[in-house]
Amino acid sequence: MSLQKTISEKVKEAVLELYGANLESVELQTTRKEFDGDITVVVFPMLRVVKGNPVQIGETIGKYLVENVEKINDFNVVKGFLNLVISNSYYLDFFAEIRRDKQYGFVTPSEESKAIMVEYSSPNTNKPLHLGHVRNNLLGYSVAEIIKASGKKVYKTQIINDRGIHICKSMIAWQKYGNNETPESTGLKGDKLVGNYYVKFDQVYKDQISQLIAEGKNEEEAKKEAPIILEAQEMLRRWEAGDEAVVQLWKMMNSWVYEGFDQTYKALGVDFDSFYYESNTYLLGKDNIKEGLDKGVFFKKEDGSVWCDLTEDGLDEKLVLRSDGTAVYMTQDIGTAIQRVKDNPNVGGMIYTVGNEQDYHFKVLFLILKKLGYDWAQHLNHLSYGMVDLPSGKMKSREGTVVDADDLIAEMAKTAGDISKDLGKLDGYTEEEKNEIYRIIGLGALKYYILKVDPKKRILFNPEESVDFQGNTGPFIQYTYARIQAILRKADFDCNGSITDIVLHEKEKELIKQLEFYPEIIQSAAAELSPAVIANYIYDLVKSYNSFFQNVSIFGADTDQEKIFRVQLSGVVGDTVKSGFKLLGINVPERM
């Protein structure tokens, strides 16, 4: 049992024994720096069940705790706050315990535990991944890793939007203007090549609309009658009818895109356990709608269309099948969710990483799945996130004004290189070593800048600000980690034994207190689906370490025992930084 839990139980015991009252909960805080103590019991909430002066109540409970809890040495009361002084031995014992635990903070899932499926990325195959996809991928991957660390099995998946009119736009443009060029013949990544034809389609389409308007059509007519949009619609009809030539073209161009995506995912450091393709799932759900009709979950209107009435739940009526029997997005999302659990029977919940413009869609989807009676539908979450903006404004795929993910990754490494050169931090390294460190710093800067923000908030992404070596940035934390590794390399003495008989410096105690929170932080980040909880904890830990480093001499310690302990403490902080950053998908360089 943790010390906090022990104190909570003993405070409840004291209140029952001394005052004959039952406390439901005990409020604990870290003692404020201006007061003597380590853990503070807040007395004020107890006044609901214990009548009296809060200072006197604090004094009485404080005496009880000193007599009954071995690790509490002393106490003081300031107004309604009972400040407890924890013994030196508690911190040394606790530190020795976590130092031996190479998986400190992580919980191993039990064999019978249900799995969580985390969906992220889910791109369209008509364009490369861009900055918006970067936030999606980083969030989804990190949340999956955090949930895994919290003690659950996790499956990472994505659904690829590989069909529909937008795909046909790229196909028809390549067919008309591509001269049979390929990724090999152009030297372009396949996703970029296909994306160029999506942009080309839009250019031709706009020209044709302008021409038709000049010929006397109104704008709506021109949009509908432009020859290239009619050709794209015809291509979609032929694809849905299984036309061999169209299907072959579709397969070829999609294969180019998948190869390009794989390269970007590898560069970004994210992975997946399974893939679903909309071309396979778009017909799913119709059978489930029929079952829902039989159960009375859905109802049919006079025109034959099928709906779900969610008005009693504060929502509206939702179409789930058109009058001609064709599906809508909701139909296939219902079917795909059910199919995923059929494919993975131990899945007990799902998390969808999708932008906040889809908030309403997921409220409806989750509610319908609950009404259909699936027990796992009680554990569905929408990891909703805000857009990523740039100082230059919004991005538009059709107009080719997006920030390409590959270009962004390369630009981040270049920015990290420029700043490192100016600071002279990597003198004496080979070019190959420097480039690898620039890549780690640049990617770490990008990931940290995005993940340190609450997912729900919109981000204004500033590449140069993210690579600053000072402040709440990835490079600042990476630099502290590298400094710790330098200390460990410098320690040319045996640092393996447990230290049991030193008096801890206040800065050492602060660090151990911070380390104590790590398991709780992982659980909290998993519950909130927020990598920001981990990111900001690691930043606080690093700030505490730097304060320790500046105020306490490691190699100039008074005794060998203190010197060994301070090297050990540095090592555990470094391990925790590395562990926390791994949950964010960020690497740490051994040297900087």
| Euclidean distance between CA atoms 417 and 433, whole angstroms | 12
Q: Is the pLDDT of residue 393 over 90?
A: no
In order of 56, 350, 396, 520, 559, the CA distances from 200 in angstroms are 78, 38, 14, 52, 72
Report, as an integer, the average pLDDT of 54-63.
Answer: 97
Report, as an integer, the average pLDDT of 181-196.
Answer: 96
pLDDT confidence of 352, banded at 50, 70, 90?
A: very high
Q: Is the pLDDT of residue 94 over 60?
A: yes
Q: How many CA atoms lie within 13 A of 187 on its CB side?
A: 0
Residues in CB range of 584: below 8 A, 6 or more apart: 138, 142, 145, 447, 448, 451, 531, 534, 535
Helices (H), 34-186: 54-68, 88-100, 131-149, 165-177, 183-186
Report, as an integer, the average pLDDT of 211-236.
Answer: 95
Residue 187 burial (C-beta neighbours within 10 Å; 0-12, 13-18, 19+): exposed
| Euclidean distance between CA atoms 574 and 542, whole angstroms | 9
Beta strands in 323-420 (DSSP E): 347-355, 380-385, 388-389
pLDDT digits (tens, 9 = 90+) for 241-290: 999 999 999 999 999 999 999 999 999 999 999 999 999 998 899 999 99
- Phi/psi for 27 (5° steps) reads -90, 120
Task: With 0.85 as the threshold, say if the pTM is over it.
Answer: yes
Tokens of 353: 């990483």
Tokens of 63: 């005496």
pLDDT digits (tens, 9 = 90+) for 6-18: 999 999 999 999 9
Residue 344 burial (C-beta neighbours within 10 Å; 0-12, 13-18, 19+): middle
Instruction: Specify which residues 307 forms β-bridges with.
Output: 299, 319
Report percent pLDDT > 90 for the chain: 85
Report, as an integer, the average pLDDT of 137-152.
Answer: 98
pLDDT confidence of 371, banded at 50, 70, 90?
A: very high
Q: According to the model, what pLDDT value does residue 401 have?
A: 54
Helices (H), 178-324: 183-186, 190-214, 219-225, 227-240, 244-268, 278-281, 286-295
Q: Are 153 and 113 in contact (CB under 8 A)?
A: yes
Q: Is the pLDDT of residue 308 over 50?
A: yes
Q: According to the model, what pLDDT value does residue 398 have?
A: 46
Report, as an integer, the average pLDDT of 370-393.
Answer: 90
- What are the chain's domains? 3-86 (3.30.1360.70), 164-272 (no CATH), 405-583 (1.10.730.10)
Q: Are 512 and 95 in contact (CB under 8 A)?
A: yes
Q: What is the mean pLDDT of the chain?
A: 93
Q: According to the model, what pLDDT value does residue 392 have?
A: 65
Q: According to the model, what pLDDT value does residue 562 have?
A: 95
pLDDT digits (tens, 9 = 90+) for 495-539: 988 898 899 999 999 999 999 999 999 999 999 999 999 999 999
Q: Is the pLDDT of residue 426 over 90?
A: no
Report, as an integer, the average pLDDT of 17-46.
Answer: 94
pLDDT confidence of 429, banded at 50, 70, 90?
A: confident
3-state secondary structure at position 308: strand
Q: According to the model, what pLDDT value does residue 397 have?
A: 43
Residues in CB range of 14: below 8 A, 6 or more apart: 60, 61, 64, 65, 68
| Euclidean distance between CA atoms 352 and 362, whole angstroms | 9
Tokens of 337: 């969710």
